[in-house]
Structure 1
C-alpha cells in the first residue's frame, strides 16, 4: 500500500519566547515493511542541526528557531510504500540489546491490577501466544475512549478507570510484558483506518514485544491486531515520552499551546483527519 501523510503540529506562545530547540523522530523507520518514496520535514524559520541514527535505529534530527517567536509550525509531508509483515520488524538495524526494554518507567509500572491481568498468559503455549493473550487482555480491559486520559496518565491509572487511548493500551501491554520477563517497547507512528469503521487515531502508537526466534513483533491492542500495511512506523522508546516524535524546549516565560492535524490516506484518496 502506498500511503500519503500530511502532519502539521502548531506551537503557539502567549508571549514571544527567546528561542526554541527541538529533537525530531519524524522520519519513517528503515525496514522491510516500509520504503520512503518521498519525505519532507519543515519548521517555520527553523535551522536544522545535527542528525544521527540512535542505538534503536531511529533517525533523530535537531532543529532550532531563534526568537523572538510567537508561533512555530512543524510540517511533515511524504509518501511511504508499506508491506504487511504480520507485525514482525524484519530487516531493521539496531544495536540496543532487547534486555534494555525490561526496565520499568513511571508510565509503565505494573501495579497489582496489571500483574493480575497479566495472568491471562499463564496457560500460553509459548512466548508468541503469551504476547497475543496479553494484548487481548489489554483490549478487553481498557475501552478505547478519546479524551478520557492525558499525556501523563499511567498504565495503572488507565486500567483502573477502564478506558483510554492508544498510548494507554501500549503502556499497559508494555507493563504486563515486562512483568513477565518479555522485553517490550513503545512505538510511535501513523495509522490509516480503512472502511471498516473501527476506532482509530491517525497519529498512532502501539507496542513491540521481543519474541525469541522472531525478534520484535508489533501488537496494537487499541485495534486488536498486529501492525500491517496500514501502519507507518516512526520510532520507539521505553514509553511515550521516550519515543515522542517531537521533543523540545522553549526559552522564555510564556506558556505554550499545541494543535495537531494529521491526515493519512492512500494515494488519490481522501484521508482521515485528527485534531
Structure 2
C-alpha cells in the first residue's frame, strides 16, 4: 500500500512570542515492509532545520526561531510504501539491547492494580507471543477509547484507573504490563490509515497514532496496537520509538515570552492514488 501523509501543526501566540525551539520526530525510516518514497518538512519561519538521529535512532529535526512570532507552522508531507509483516520489525539497526526496554519511566511504571491485571490477563500460558496477544485483547476489553479525560502526560496508572483514554494511554498500559511480565516493550509513534473501523487519532498536538512493540526471543520486535486490538499491518506508518511517549513525541519544544499559546492540528492519512510502477 502507498500511504500519503499530510500533517500540519500550527501554533499561534497572542501577544507574539519572543522565540521558540522545537525538536521534530516526524520522519519515518526505511525497514522491511516500509519504504519512504518521498518526505519533506517545512517550517513557516525562516530558519534552518538541523537533521540528527537521537539515542534511539529516530530521525529528528531541530530548529530555533527568534521573534516576534505570532504564528508558527510545521508542515509535513510525504508518501510511504508499506507491506504487511504481521507486526514483525526487521531491517533496522538497533542502538540498544532489548533489556534497555525493561526500564520503568514515570509514564509506564505499574502499580499493584496494573501488576494484578497483567498477571490475570495472561494466566499461565508459557508462550510469550500468545501472552502478548492475550494482554493486548485484555487491555482493549478493559479500556474505553475516549480522548476527553487524558492528555500526553497521563501515566499508565492514571489512565488505567480511569479505564478510559487514547492510543497513547493504551500503549503505556501495554508497556507497563509487558515489562512486569518480564518482556521488553517500547512505545511507537506513527500514522494509521483510518477506515472508520480504527481509532486513528491521538490527543492534542501528537495527532496520529501510537502503539507498542515487544521483544520476543527468536522473533525480534513485534508491534501490538491495544487500541485496535491488532498487530500493525500495511495501513501503519512507523515513525519513532522510545521508552514512552516523551522519547517518541512527534513535536516537542519550548517557546519563550509572549502570551497564550493556541494549537491546531490538521492531519490526513490515506491511501495514495499513485502506485509504484513495476
TM-score normalised by the chain length of structure 1: 0.93
Question: How far apart are the structure 2 equivalents of 1:219 and 1:87?
Answer: 7
Question: How far apart are the structure 2 equivalents of 1:33 and 1:14?
Answer: 44
Q: Which moved more, 1:215-224 or 1:140-149?
A: 140-149
Quote the residue 2:239 is aligned against.
234
How far is the alpha carbon of 1:108 from its aligned partner? Answer: 0.8
Describe the SS at the equivalent of 1:124: coil
Quote the residue 1:217 is aligned against.
222
How far is the alpha carbon of 1:22 from its aligned partner? Answer: 0.8
RMSD: 1.6
CA contact (8 A) 1:189 1:235 kept: yes
C-alpha deviations, 1:124-175, integer Å up to 9, x for none?
2321112112111111111112223222221111111211110110000000
Question: How far apart are the structure 2 equivalents of 1:200 and 1:52?
Answer: 28
Describe the SS at the equivalent of 2:158: helix
User: What stretches of structure 1 of length at least 5 have no aligned partner?
Assistant: 270-275
Runs of 4+ in 1 over 3 A off after TM superposition: none
Quote the residue 1:121 is aligned against.
122
Question: How far apart are the structure 2 equivalents of 1:52 and 1:127?
Answer: 35
Question: How far apart are the structure 2 equivalents of 1:148 and 1:107?
Answer: 16
C-alpha deviations, 1:217-238, integer Å up to 9, x for none?
1100101100110000110111
Is residue 2:259 matched to residue 1:244? no
User: What stretches of structure 2 of length at least 5 have no aligned partner?
Assistant: 202-206
How far is the alpha carbon of 1:91 from its aligned partner? Answer: 0.4
Quote the residue 2:16 is aligned against.
16
How far is the alpha carbon of 1:72 from its aligned partner? Answer: 0.4
Q: How many residues were matched structurally?
A: 268
TM-score normalised by the chain length of structure 2: 0.92
Q: Which moved more, 1:247-256 or 1:175-184?
A: 247-256
- Alignment of structure 1 residues 28-177 onto 2, 5 Å: 28-119=28-119, 120-177=121-178
Quote the residue 1:272 is aligned against.
none
Question: How far apart are the structure 1 equivalents of 2:50 and 2:42?
Answer: 15
Question: How far apart are the structure 1 equivalents of 2:249 and 2:57?
Answer: 15
